[in-house]
Structure 1
Amino acid sequence: MYHATRIELKKLPSVANHTVRSAFSRNTNIRNPELPNMDAVIYGHVPSKKNVKDYASICGFDTKSEFLPITYPHVAAFKLHMELMLHRTFPLGIMGMVHVANKITQHRGIKLGEALDVRAFFAGSNRTHKGLEVSLRTEIRIGMELVWEGLSTYLALLPSKGIEKKEAEQLLPENPEYSESETWTLPSNLGLKYGPVAGDPNPIHWGVIAAKAFGFKRHLAHGMWTKGRAAASVHKMLGSDAAEIYVEFKRPIFLPAKVELHSGKKGQEIDFEVAATRNDDVHLAGYIKAL
C-alpha cells in the first residue's frame, strides 16, 4: 500500500523524547477525526542485548535464550506507533489513550543480533460509544522474509453523544476451559520499571497523582506488560516458535495488585485470562495458537 507520508528513522527515539512531545499533543479534530495516510520505518534495527534481557526479566521470559521473547518486537513497533501518533497530522492527543486489543503473529523465532526492518502504519479506525479506536499494523522483515506482524488497537476517549452502542466483534473463544493457574504479585512501581524498558511514557502508569489527572482512580499496569507476562508462560507451554497470540484488555489492573493467570490447552491452542484474585474480574483474555 502506498503512503503519502513516510517517517524514516535512523534510530529509535528515547523515552524522554516521546514523553516531552506527548505532553504537548492535543486533540485537533474530535468531530470528524481522520487518520493521515502515512507510515513509519526503521531499517537494520538490532535490539540491544541489555534491553532484551531487561525486558525478558521483568516479563518472566528466559533471560538466557538466544531468541527474542515473542512480545519483545512490540517495543520497536510501539516507538513507531508513537512517531505516527505524535505527527502534526494525527488529529488526537495521545496522553491517556488506552490500549484495548493486540494481536501478534510470529512466523519464526527471531535470534538476538538479527537486523530488523520495522514498518508501522495506520490500519483504520472505528468510532464507538466510548471514542475512536485507532488500529496500527506493524510488519517486521529480515531481508525479504516477513518474520513478525502486529496489530494494536488504541482507544481515544471522545464525547459519545449521538453514537450508537454496538456489540463488539467476538474474536475470543466463547467457552474457554482452564486447567492451570498461577498467581502474580504486582508491585506499585511496576509501571515505573516497565515503562523505560518498553519505551512507553504514558503517565497513567507512573503513580496515583499522574493517573488521576487522566481520570483513573490509581495508576495501572501496562497492558503490554500483562500480555508479555502471560506470553512468558503460555508460549513456553505451546512449544512452537511460530505462533499467533491475541488479547483483549478488559479492565485495568490498578497497582499494587495480586492477580491470577488461568490457562487451558486444547490441541495446538491455549486459551488464557488474567483475573483479579479477590473478585474474579477479568483484566485480560486471549489465546495463543501454533502456526
Structure 2
Amino acid sequence: MNAPALPRHAWWLMLRAGLSRPRAGGAVPEAPAHWQAPALSARERSAFKAHLGFGPETEVPLSLHYLALQRAQLEWMLRPAFPFRLLGMVHMAQSLTRLAPWEVQAPFEIGLQAALEGKRNVRLEAELRQAGRPVLRASSLYRPPRDPGARPLRERAAEPPPEGAPLAEWTLPAHAGRAYARLSGDANPIHLWPWTARYFGLPRPIVHGMHTLARCEAELARARGEALSHIELQFLRPIALPGAARLHGDAAGFEVFSAAGRCATGSAR
C-alpha cells in the first residue's frame, strides 16, 4: 500500500489543530506512519536560505527539512486519539543528521514513530528516505501546552553570557515570529502576538525554536566554511520578542544567549 501524500500547507494543519480537542484518556499512538513528499523546490530553498542567513557553503540546510517534517508531525498529532492540545505545544529539543547526500531534484518519503517520554513529553523520531535510501534522521521533543488562561510564567533572572566576542549575533524584531510563520507555515499562537502568547501563559511572544536552530546552523557553517552534517539543540528557555541572540562557542559545543540568559545549548559537526 502506497504512503499518502504529505500535506503541502502547514497553515491548513494549524487551523485543524486550533479546532481539535484532546481526547480524555487518549494515548500517544505508537504505530509508525509514512508520507510521500515532492522534491524541495528551488524557490523554497532560496527563500529559506535568504531569510535565515545561509551562505553558499550550504546548498540544502538541515533545518530546511523540518518544514516538511513538521507537517508530518502535525498530521500525526491530529489523530483523534492524541491526548494533548496542539496549539501552544512547546518545542524542547531537536536533532537533525544527514546520512547520505540529498538529491535536490528527487522526491522523498518521511517515516515517523512516536512515544511518550516522561509523563507528558512526546518524542517524535523520523527518517527521510530517497529512492529507499535513508538520507536524514531527525528527533523532536515536545511539551504539551499549559491550560488556556493560565497565569504567565515568571521570567527568571538574567544570566551573563561568556566573556569575549560572540561567534555571531542577530536582532529579533517584534514581528520575527510572524515572519518565520509566513515562511514555515508554523502559526503556533505563542510566536505571533502579545495577546496570543499571554493566552498560553507567556508574558511575550517567543521566537520559534527552529528559527534559532537554523540561525545557529547558518552561522556555524559559515564559520567552518562548509555545510553541517549534524546539529542538535536543547531549548532551555524561550527568546522573547523583540530581542536579540548571541551565539558563543563552536561546532563542538555552543550556546545561545538572550538578555534573559542562556536560551539553548547544542553541538554540531
Tell me the TM-score range normalised by the shorter chain: 0.7 to 0.9
Show the counterpart of 2:153. Answer: none
Show the counterpart of 1:99. Answer: 91
Matched residue SS, 1:114: coil
AA aligned opposite 1:54? A
What is the rounded CA distance, in whole Å, between the counterparts of 1:135 and 1:255 in structure 2?
27
Instruction: State yes or no: 1:73 paired with 2:65.
Output: yes
The CA deviation at 1:25 is 2.0
The CA deviation at 1:229 is 0.5
Show the counterpart of 1:16. Answer: 11
Matched residue SS, 2:32: strand
| 1:156-235 matches, cutoff 5 A | 156-157=144-145, 180-235=166-221
Answer yes or no: is the 8 Å Cα contact 1:108–1:242 preserved in 2: no
Show the counterpart of 1:88. Answer: 80
AA aligned opposite 1:125? L
| 1:3-152 matches, cutoff 5 A | 8-29=3-24, 34-62=27-55, 67-122=59-114, 124-128=115-119, 132-152=120-140
What is the rounded CA distance, in whole Å, between the counterparts of 1:66 and 1:273 in structure 2?
21
What is the rounded CA distance, in whole Å, between the counterparts of 2:191 and 2:143 in structure 1?
16
What's the C-alpha RMSD, in Å, of the aligned pairs?
2.5
The CA deviation at 1:120 is 1.7
AA aligned opposite 2:59? F
The alpha-carbon distance between structure 1 residues 25 and 262, as it changes in their structure 2 partners (threshold 3 A), is: same
For residues 160-179 of structure 1, the C-alpha deviation after alignment (integer angstroms, 9 at most, x for no partner) is: xxxxxxxxxxxxxxxx9987
The CA deviation at 1:180 is 4.7
What is the rounded CA distance, in whole Å, between the counterparts of 1:21 and 1:222 in structure 2?
20
Answer yes or no: is the 8 Å Cα contact 2:93–2:140 preserved in 1: yes
Instruction: State yes or no: 1:287 paired with 2:267.
Output: yes
Aligned residues: 255
The alpha-carbon distance between structure 1 residues 208 and 61, as it changes in their structure 2 partners (threshold 3 A), is: same
Answer yes or no: is the 8 Å Cα contact 2:4–2:35 preserved in 1: yes
What is the rounded CA distance, in whole Å, between the counterparts of 2:229 and 2:176 in structure 1?
27
Answer yes or no: is the 8 Å Cα contact 2:100–2:134 preserved in 1: no
Q: Segments of 4+ in structure 1 off by > 4 A?
A: 176-180, 238-242
Answer yes or no: is the 8 Å Cα contact 1:70–1:109 preserved in 2: no
Answer yes or no: is the 8 Å Cα contact 2:17–2:86 preserved in 1: yes
What is the rounded CA distance, in whole Å, between the counterparts of 1:238 and 1:38 in structure 2?
40
Q: What TM-score, normalized to structure 2?
A: 0.85
Gaps of 5+ in 2: 148-161
Answer yes or no: is the 8 Å Cα contact 1:96–1:214 preserved in 2: yes
| 1:226-245 matches, cutoff 5 A | 226-238=212-224, 241=227, 243-245=229-231
222-231 or 43-52: bigger deviation: 43-52
AA aligned opposite 1:45? P
The alpha-carbon distance between structure 1 residues 214 and 179, as it changes in their structure 2 partners (threshold 3 A), is: same
Show the counterpart of 1:166. Answer: none
For residues 45-86 of structure 1, the C-alpha deviation after alignment (integer angstroms, 9 at most, x for no partner) is: 211221221111111113x66831121111111100000111
Q: What TM-score, normalized to structure 1?
A: 0.79
More contact order relative to length (CA 8 Å, sep ≥ 6): 2
For residues 83-138 of structure 1, the C-alpha deviation after alignment (integer angstroms, 9 at most, x for no partner) is: 0111112111111110001111112342432221222221x21235xxx1101111
What is the rounded CA distance, in whole Å, between the counterparts of 1:262 and 1:147 in structure 2?
29
AA aligned opposite 2:100? R
Show the counterpart of 1:172. Answer: none
The alpha-carbon distance between structure 1 residues 204 and 158, as it changes in their structure 2 partners (threshold 3 A), is: closer
11-20 or 47-56: bigger deviation: 11-20
Percent of aligned positions with the same letter in both sequences?
A: 26
Show the counterpart of 2:158. Answer: none
What is the rounded CA distance, in whole Å, between the counterparts of 1:116 and 1:66 in structure 2?
20
AA aligned opposite 1:150? A
* Greater share of residues in helix: 2
AA aligned opposite 2:9? S
Gaps of 5+ in 1: 1-5, 160-175
